[in-house]
């Protein structure tokens, strides 16, 4: 395993971190046995940075159970979890959420604690007005928090403002070869490094769009460079090529994914990206930009929709219709409606309540984009036809 040094405290962190948001699941519940196998194997391979969050449903509790099953495991890793900033209305809420996280994880302190999903400088101002700085100082004195940071999903201009607003120990940004100029971007990465902060990278594969969801033109570009069999490796190598990056989080949910990513880490040092790889990425970037119209990463923060619409899957179907053909997108859209498992819900069911907009880290105007989905994929009479089929099958 490759390790990179946290410039603030000298910790040796694995360049590959385990993003726990997408643990293996079965029947809508985390598969604790499968998750345990992954975490134990990850630690054996040298991964020592695990990232979770209060808002990841069942996630902290699953990790706590894994720690309980494997005495000594917790001492071998650094734990990162997150404070749900949107739910904090008073200083006492900071204590409430931290205590719950500690209880779920069955630990007495958090190594890397983040303010979750900061979307603007004003969001920080609100948090600061609740006495956050004094609270953090007290938590550090008591030993419940070792390092304090924030995860960022806001505009480029606000990022350096946030960096200078407080004595942060680290930060976390979305970064991949499609997002050099999006959110914090490359400029933000450099700004954090200039201030001596370690940078943790999330979404290196853009929610899978740089892996299995590559459009045909992008795949051809990789094939021409002899890289067609490994788009994941290429995307990760691009991120690790930046010396300013400390940890790259990957949401691995199979042992094969873990093995492949760990092996990639071993040779993905700063400056190691080859000219052929850089050329292939440039060409792939152009094709992806043409095909993926809605920048949804499938994080699910917008869910649940009050009307039961599966928003991420609707957007995935829409993008698929451009990247891989209208019929494939249409098939995916019908699946996204839930037609095969219960009462169907379509993009046309959106009432534009706006509940989803403020939750979206990508700042997508979701109701407007659902209208685009409807126009492209919802042929006349589709909802009535699908619902009739569901009704007949249920008899």
Q: How far apart are CA 382 and CA 345, in angstroms?
A: 11
Q: Which of 22, 24, 37, 78 is closest to 200 using CA atoms?
A: 78
In a domain, 98, yes or no: yes
In terms of domains, do 234 and 323 share one? no
* Six-digit token string for 1: 């395993």
Residue 299 resides in a domain? no
The reply to whether 348 and 380 lie within a common domain is: yes
Residue 304 included in any domain: no
Instruction: Name which of 188, 112, 181 is nearest 146 in CA terms.
Output: 112
In a domain, 194, yes or no: yes
Which of residues 395 and 249 earns the better pLDDT score? 249
Residues 241 and 343 grouped into a single domain: no
Is 42 within 8 Å of 15 (Cβ atoms)?
Answer: no
Q: How many domains does the chain have?
A: 2
- Do 373 and 321 share a structural domain? yes
For the segment 151-182, what is each residue's pLDDT rounded down to a tens digit?
A: 988 778 889 999 999 999 999 998 998 888 87
- Closest to 214 measured CA to CA, from 284, 136, 146, 318: 284
**Is 335 part of any domain?**
yes
The mean pLDDT value for 131-144 works out to 95
Contact 16, 1 (CB under 8 A): yes
- 245, 326: one domain: no
Q: Is the pLDDT of residue 318 over 90?
A: no
pLDDT tens-digit map of 4-22: 999 999 999 999 999 998 8
If asked whether residues 79 and 121 sit together in one domain, one would say: yes
pLDDT above 90 as % of the chain: 49
Q: What are the tens digits of pLDDT across the range 71-106?
A: 999 999 999 999 988 888 889 999 999 999 999 999
In a domain, 295, yes or no: no
Instruction: Note whether residue 302 is domain-resident.
Output: no
* 155 and 226 belong to one structural domain: yes
Tell me the CA distances in angstroms from 214 to 53, 177, 309, one per residue in order. Answer: 29, 13, 25
Q: Which residue has better confidence, 144 or 231?
A: 144
* CA–CA gap between residue 349 and residue 42 (Å, rounded): 42
Examine residue 381 and state whether it is found in any structural domain, yes or no.
Answer: yes
- Whether residues 231 and 328 share a domain: the answer is no
pLDDT on residue 395? 43
Domain coverage including residue 142: 3-290
Give the end of a domain, one of 290, 319, 345.
Answer: 290
Q: Compute the distance between CA of residue 379 and CA of residue 8 in angstroms, rounded to an integer.
A: 56
- What pLDDT is attached to residue 228? 62
**C-beta separation of 177 from 285 below 8 A:** yes
* C-alpha–C-alpha distance, residues 227 and 214, integer Å: 13
Task: Find residue 113's DSSP bridge partners.
Answer: 81, 148
305 DSSP assignment = P
Higher pLDDT, 236 or 325: 236
Q: Does 367 lie in the same domain as 323?
A: yes
* β-bridge mates for residue 203, sequence order: none
Lowest-confidence region among 135-149, 195-209, 213-227: 213-227
**315 token code pair:** 């957007």
- CATH number of the domain residue 215 falls in: 3.20.20.100
Residues 236 and 327 in one domain: no
* Same domain, residue pair 153 and 276: yes
pLDDT in tens, 337-386: 765 445 678 888 999 999 899 888 888 999 999 999 999 988 776 766 66
pLDDT for res 387: 58
126 and 230 within one domain: yes
Supply the pLDDT for residue 226. 74
């Amino acid at each position: 395993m490759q390790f990179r040094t946290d410039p603030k405290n000298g910790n040796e962190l694995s360049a590959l971190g385990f993003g726990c948001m997408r643990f293996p699941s079965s029947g809508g519940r985390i598969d604790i046995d499968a998750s345990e196998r992954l975490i134990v194997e990850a630690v054996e391979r040298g991964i020592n940075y695990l990232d979770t969050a209060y808002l990841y449903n069942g996630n902290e509790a699953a990790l706590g159970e894994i720690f309980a099953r494997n005495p000594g495991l917790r001492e071998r890793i650094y734990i990162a979890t997150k404070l749900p900033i949107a739910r904090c209305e008073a200083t006492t809420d900071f204590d409430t959420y931290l205590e719950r996280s500690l209880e779920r994880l069955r630990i007495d302190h958090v190594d890397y604690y983040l303010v979750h999903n900061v979307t603007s400088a004003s969001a920080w101002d609100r948090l600061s007005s609740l006495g956050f700085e004094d609270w953090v100082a007290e938590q550090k004195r008591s030993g419940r928090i070792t390092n304090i940071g924030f995860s960022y999903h806001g505009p480029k201009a606000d990022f350096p403002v946030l960096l200078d607003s407080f004595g942060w120990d680290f930060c976390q940004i979305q970064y991949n070869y499609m997002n050099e100029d999006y959110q914090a971007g490359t400029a933000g990465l450099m700004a954090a490094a200039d201030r001596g902060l370690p940078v943790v990278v999330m979404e290196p594969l853009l929610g899978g769009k740089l892996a299995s969801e590559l459009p045909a033109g992008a795949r051809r570009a990789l094939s021409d460079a002899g890289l067609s069999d490994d788009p994941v490796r290429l995307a990760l190598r691009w991120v690790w090529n930046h010396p300013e990056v400390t940890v790259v989080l990957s949401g691995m949910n199979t042992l094969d994914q873990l093995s492949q990513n760990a092996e990639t880490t071993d040779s993905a040092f700063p400056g190691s990206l080859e000219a052929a790889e850089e050329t292939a990425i440039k060409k792939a970037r152009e094709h992806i930009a043409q095909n993926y119209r809605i920048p949804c990463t499938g994080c699910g923060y917008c869910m649940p929709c009050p009307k039961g619409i599966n928003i991420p899957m609707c957007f995935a179907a829409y993008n698929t219709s451009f990247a891989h053909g209208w019929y494939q997108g249409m098939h995916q859209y019908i699946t996204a409606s839930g037609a095969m498992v219960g009462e169907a819900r379509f993009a046309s069911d959106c009432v534009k309540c706006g509940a989803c907009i403020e939750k979206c880290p990508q700042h997508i105007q979701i109701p407007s984009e659902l209208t685009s989905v409807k126009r492209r994929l919802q042929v006349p009479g589709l909802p009535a036809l699908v619902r009739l089929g569901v009704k007949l099958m249920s008899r």
